[in-house]
Amino acid sequence: MNKFITIFSIQIPALIVIFIATVFVQILLDFILSSIGFYKYVWHAGLFRTAMFVCIFTIPAIYIYR
């Protein structure tokens, strides 16, 4: 089942909206974690950031599309 959000008479897939929201949440979390020095204790910061983005993106996507 396709889920769409209508903005100004334009139908946008819900995953795009979730993706954009996830980008902003990721930027905020990355700023907070880097300011407290969390990435000093992570083995590979880029891999951790990518995994965190995937987790943040899939939780609402699974919730909406189940």
Tally of domains in the chain: 1
Predicted confidence (pLDDT) per residue in 9-48, tens digit: 888 888 898 999 999 999 999 999 999 999 999 999 999 9
What contacts 24+ positions apart, CB below 8 Å, involve 28-37? Answer: 29/56
What contacts 24+ positions apart, CB below 8 Å, involve 45-52? Answer: 52/26
Residue 62 has pLDDT above 70, yes or no: yes
Q: What 3-state class would DSSP assign to 6?
A: strand
Which pLDDT score is estimated for 3? 82
Q: Residue 10: which domain range?
A: 4-65
CA nearest to 5, candidates 23, 24, 19: 19
Q: How far is CA 10 from the centre of its chain?
A: 23
